[in-house]
């Protein structure tokens, strides 16, 4: 019996998905449970499993295309089974399909830029195979890059599915010919995690050299994550009545405590964000009216503290959730947070790991930002924006001393949190950081 492969709703907020990669080619055998495709949702890249066995008889949506949830993208069936009724049904109900980035839909002009490439497979054929129409099989990114570099596609070994040429193959060919690939760092460019215009491990910001940047008039296709961010922000900043509270915290004792704790730890270190998460969890236990949500005709005080941690990704933002933070010590918070952030960058989080926070923290201190305001992520009632800790002259007992100080701003939903309520929470948060010994007891 034929099995339909559809664009599944892989997260509650997902309305459409982008087909990143087919793991199999038409004609390949499929067993139930096999991974047949990779889909980009609004928050992560996720695998699509086969719900039946047979052969991948038909691919209806090409890599790079974006289609609504529920769209038929492929058909699995026995080799001799008649699938024409399924294809005819799909043709009648066919929705508008966004063409793969970098390749215009029939009868249209190209409007997008190439999508991200999948990682190369292990087996690399000697030469790239040709498609049925005689064209060399290559991704839109690879075609564009090869054209810019003047490299003949037919001379490049393809390492993608079915021998398809992908971005990494062109880069390797360019390196072999001594040609720098577009966007590749030139000699003397930032390395080891120090990207142009971003802070490095030592906090040094490398600015682009004069003439290094390239201005181009282009239209960038919005990723599923960027579309979701746009929807969520429109839902938040308009309907949610924001107000903001800012305070400055003396971080001397908290940073000294962190240094002492890390001196006795092997294998991992406690970060400043870990201390802030622990402090926020403790403060929320003492102020449950902030650990709350607006539900139209009621205010929901949550029975546990689930902390959202804002993580910047290329092209967007995701907020993995540290569950039951109120019952965890600093060591456990540090280990779990590191794992969540690592998998967030790899886009390997499951939907339940980035949804349902009761309070969020966004830390931009590592980017040399001293103070900012963050937008609340509904239905949460508040989010805490953390700035950079700086050494500042401070008057204490009539004397000027240099102290490490940090500014934090809490964005509050006025339907749930009043000014005095938010101020009391911040006072507790500040007091704990300035007298942090209780955090480890």
- Residue 212: C-alpha distances to residues 144, 198, 209 (Å): 21, 15, 5
Residue 32: count other Cβ atoms within 10 Å of its Cβ: 12
Tell me the Ramachandran region of residue 182: left when phi exceeds 0, alpha when psi lies from -120 to 50, beta otherwise. beta
For residue 132, the model assigns a pLDDT of: 36
Q: What is the pLDDT of residues 341-400, one digit of tens each?
A: 999 998 888 888 999 999 999 999 999 999 999 999 889 999 999 999 999 999 988 999
**The two three-digit tokens of residue 215, written as one number:** 């201005």
Q: Are 279 and 361 members of one domain?
A: yes
Burial class (CB in 10 A: 0-12, 13-18, 19+), 74: buried
Beta strands at 29-30 and 242-250: parallel, antiparallel or unpaired: unpaired
Q: Determine the angle formed by the axes of helices 140-149 and 167-176, rounding to 10 degrees.
A: 20
pLDDT of 51-66, one tens digit each?
Answer: 889 999 999 999 988 8
pLDDT of residue 213: 56
* Structural domain span for residue 341: 224-346+353-440
Residues that are catalytic: 414
Q: Provide the residue count of the chain.
A: 441
* Mean pLDDT, residues 179-206 taken together: 38
Same domain, 64 and 121: no
Number of domains in the chain: 3
| Residue 159 belongs to domain with CATH number | 4.10.320.10
- Inter-residue contact 321 to 304 (CB < 8 Å): no
d(Cα 360, Cα 374) in Å, to the nearest integer?
10
Residue 200 lies in a domain: no
Give residue 208's pLDDT.
Answer: 53
The predicted model gives 314-333 an average pLDDT of 92
0.75 surpassed by pTM: no
Q: Give domain status of residue 22, yes or no.
A: yes
Indicate whether 380 and 274 sit together in one domain: yes
Q: Are residues 73 and 157 in the same domain?
A: no
Is 8 part of a structural domain of the chain? yes
- Whether the per-residue pLDDT at 36 is higher than 60: the answer is yes
* Residues 252 and 392 occupy one common structural domain: yes
For residues 154 and 401, which has the higher predicted lDDT (pLDDT)?
401
Count of CB atoms situated within 10 Å of the CB of 298: 8
Tell me, yes or no, whether 208 lies in a domain. no
Stretch 139-158: mean pLDDT:
76
Mean pLDDT of 119-145: 51
Q: Are residues 88 and 158 in the same domain?
A: no
The model's confidence at residue 198, banded by pLDDT at 50, 70 and 90, is very low
């Amino acid at each position: 019996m034929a099995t339909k492969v559809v664009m599944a709703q892989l997260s509650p907020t997902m309305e459409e998905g982008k087909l990143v990669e087919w793991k199999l080619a038409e004609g390949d055998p499929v067993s139930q449970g096999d991974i047949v495709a990779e889909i980009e949702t609004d928050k992560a890249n996720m695998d699509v499993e086969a719900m039946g066995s047979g052969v991948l008889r038909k691919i209806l949506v090409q890599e790079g295309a974006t289609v609504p949830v529920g769209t038929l993208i492929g058909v699995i069936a026995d080799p001799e089974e008649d699938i024409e009724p399924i294809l005819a049904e799909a043709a009648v109900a066919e929705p508008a399909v966004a063409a793969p980035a970098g390749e215009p839909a029939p009868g249209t002009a190209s409007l997008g830029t190439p999508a991200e490439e999948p990682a190369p497979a292990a087996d690399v054929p000697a030469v790239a195979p040709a498609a049925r129409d005689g064209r060399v099989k290559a991704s839109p990114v690879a075609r564009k890059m090869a054209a810019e570099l003047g490299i003949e596609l037919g001379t490049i070994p393809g390492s993608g599915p079915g021998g398809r040429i992908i971005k990494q193959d062109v880069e390797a060919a360019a390196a072999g010919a001594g040609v720098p690939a577009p966007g590749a760092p030139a000699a003397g460019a930032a390395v080891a995690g120090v990207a142009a215009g971003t802070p490095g491990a030592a906090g040094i910001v490398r600015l682009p050299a004069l003439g290094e940047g390239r201005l181009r008039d282009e239209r960038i296709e919005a990723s599923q994550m960027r579309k979701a961010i746009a929807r969520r922000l429109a839902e938040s900043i308009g309907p949610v009545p924001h107000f903001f509270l800012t305070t400055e915290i003396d971080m001397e004792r908290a940073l000294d405590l962190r240094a002492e704790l890390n001196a006795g730890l092997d294998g991992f270190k406690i970060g400043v964000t870990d201390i802030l998460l622990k402090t926020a969890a403790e403060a929320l236990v003492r102020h449950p009216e902030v650990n709350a949500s607006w539900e139209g005709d009621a205010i929901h005080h949550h029975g546990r503290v689930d902390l959202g941690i804002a993580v910047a990704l290329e092209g967007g933002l995701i907020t993995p959730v540290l569950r039951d933070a109120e019952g965890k010590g600093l060591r456990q918070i540090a280990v779990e947070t590191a794992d969540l952030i690592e998998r967030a960058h790899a886009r390997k989080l499951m939907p339940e790991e980035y949804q349902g926070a009761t309070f969020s923290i966004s830390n931009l201190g590592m980017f040399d930002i001293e103070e900012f305001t963050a937008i609340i992520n509904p239905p949460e009632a508040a989010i805490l924006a953390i700035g950079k800790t700086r050494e500042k002259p401070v008057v204490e007992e009539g004397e000027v001393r240099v102290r490490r100080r940090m500014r934090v701003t809490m964005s509050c939903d006025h339907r749930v949190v009043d000014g005095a309520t938010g101020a009391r929470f911040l006072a507790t948060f500040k007091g704990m950081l300035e007298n942090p010994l209780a955090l480890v007891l």
